[in-house]
């Protein structure tokens, strides 16, 4: 007999229309409204990437692909999909309430972010857990999937395909920048958070598996809080790598994210490219995982290892 199990896919969320930008940003700031200047700056960045982010659509597609793949992988389970977002509706709590309404008693949760930090994946899980306890729903959490062979294979293939665009004789003049979203350094150090080490492990796996010769690790998209964030920032790193080694080709793999959205389309494709243009070097940013079957397969394999 097949058992119906909830699949709660959680993601960051993005404004659906321009008027959502202010409340969305206020939610990111824990209810404290950003200044008019900060709101305008964010509106300008969305405008730059075409008005709004593709994230909402991609999150839906990724969640549907994952649910389909899990239903293929399990004979005795029928996964029913729920999407819960961090900073806009449907919120994580809304999704848990919908599960309760449908009589779900058991669910697997997945965050669309491959590395664990108590401030990212951990905070999604806590919100889901707090709500699920009200309805006695049992949750099994996927904590991370950066080490899954299919996740590493996805990025390895992308790196090698990008290297194929560069003459062999210039591979020694090429550097790979592996990055994730920065977080405040003090919080990470105080809690002995695994996040920086998980990025480091990802970098090692990509270095071992792909044909790249030179690799650097960096952090991106940091906030402006007046306190130190994890570094080096990818833009500063680009300048340093150029000044020290004179690389001609820079390949950016923002492996902490799983699809094209503001932080990739603006922070990599605009901000890092501006630095590359200034230095007269070539900018490359392979396609993000989106609904690629290797990426979806990596999450399926992680679910299978815990559920």
Rounded to an integer, what distance in angstroms lies between the CA atom of residue 42 and that of residue 39?
5
Q: Which of 14, 162, 210, 220 is the binder for ligand FEC (CB under 6 A)?
A: 14
* Nearest residue relative to ligand FEC (C-beta): 223
Q: Which of 4, 26, 27, 29 is the binder for ligand FEC (CB under 6 A)?
A: 29
Residues 6 or more apart whose CB falls under 8 angstroms from that of 254 comprise 179, 180, 220, 263, 264, 267, 268, 285, 288
Chain centre distance of CA 294: 16
Residue 214 phi/psi, 5° resolution?
Answer: -115, 130
Nearer to ligand FEC, 29 or 127 (CB): 29
Rounded to an integer, what distance in angstroms lies between the CA atom of residue 261 and that of residue 258?
9
Check binding of 144 to ligand FEC (CB under 6 A).
no
Annotated binding site for Fe(2+): 181, 263
Nearer to ligand FEC, 175 or 259 (CB): 259
Classify each residue of 133-170 as buried b or exposed e, where b means 16 or more C-beta atoms within 10 Å of its C-beta. Answer: eeeebebebbbbbbebebbbbbbbebbeebbeebeeee
Residue 227 CB coordination number (10 Å)? 10
* Closest approach of ligand FEC to the CB of residue 61, in Å: 14
Query: Which residues are bridge partners to 141 per DSSP?
Result: 109
Rounded to an integer, what distance in angstroms lies between the CA atom of residue 162 and that of residue 202?
18
Instruction: Mark residues 104-143: x for contact with ligand FEC by CB under 6 A, - for none.
Output: ---------x------x-----------------------
Check binding of 55 to ligand FEC (CB under 6 A).
yes
Q: Which of 9, 42, 177, 237 is the binder for ligand FEC (CB under 6 A)?
A: 42
The residue count for binding ligand FEC (CB under 6 A) is: 19
Q: Which residues inside 241-270 make contact with ligand FEC, applying CB under 6 A?
A: 256-257, 261-263
Which residues are near ligand FEC by CB under 6 A? 12, 14, 25, 28-29, 42, 53, 55, 113, 120, 181, 183, 223, 225, 256-257, 261-263
């Amino acid at each position: 007999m097949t058992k119906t199990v909830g699949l709660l896919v959680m993601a960051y969320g993005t404004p659906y229309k321009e008027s959502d930008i202010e409340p969305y940003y206020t939610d990111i700031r824990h209810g404290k409204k950003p200044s008019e200047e900060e709101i305008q700056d964010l509106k300008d960045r969305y405008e730059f990437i075409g008005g709004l982010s593709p994230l909402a659509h991609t999150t839906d597609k990724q969640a549907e692909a994952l649910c389909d793949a899990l239903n293929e992988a399990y004979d005795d389970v029928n996964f029913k999909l729920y999407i819960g977002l961090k900073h806009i509706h449907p919120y994580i709590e809304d999704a848990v309430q919908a599960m309760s309404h449908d009589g779900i008693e058991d669910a697997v949760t997945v965050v669309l972010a491959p590395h664990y930090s108590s401030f990212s994946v951990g905070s999604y899980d806590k919100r889901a857990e707090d709500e699920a306890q009200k309805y006695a729903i049992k949750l099994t959490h996927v904590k991370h999937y950066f080490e899954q062979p299919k996740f590493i294979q996805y990025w390895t293939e992308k790196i090698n395909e990008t290297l194929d665009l560069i003459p062999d004789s210039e591979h020694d003049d090429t550097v790979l920048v592996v990055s994730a979203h920065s977080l405040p350094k003090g919080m990470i150090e105080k809690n002995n958070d695994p996040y920086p080490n998980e990025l480091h492990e990802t970098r090692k796996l990509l270095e071992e598996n792909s044909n790249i010769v030179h690799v650097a690790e960096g952090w991106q998209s940091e906030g402006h809080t007046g306190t130190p964030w994890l570094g080096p920032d990818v833009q500063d790193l680009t300048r340093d790598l150029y000044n020290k080694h004179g690389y001609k080709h820079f390949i950016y793999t923002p492996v902490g994210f799983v699809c094209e959205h503001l932080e990739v389309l603006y922070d990599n494709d605009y901000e890092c490219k501006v630095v590359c243009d200034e230095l007269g070097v070539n900018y490359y940013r392979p396609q993000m995982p989106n609904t690629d079957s290797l990426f979806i397969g990596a999450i399926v394999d992680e679910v299978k290892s815990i559920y």
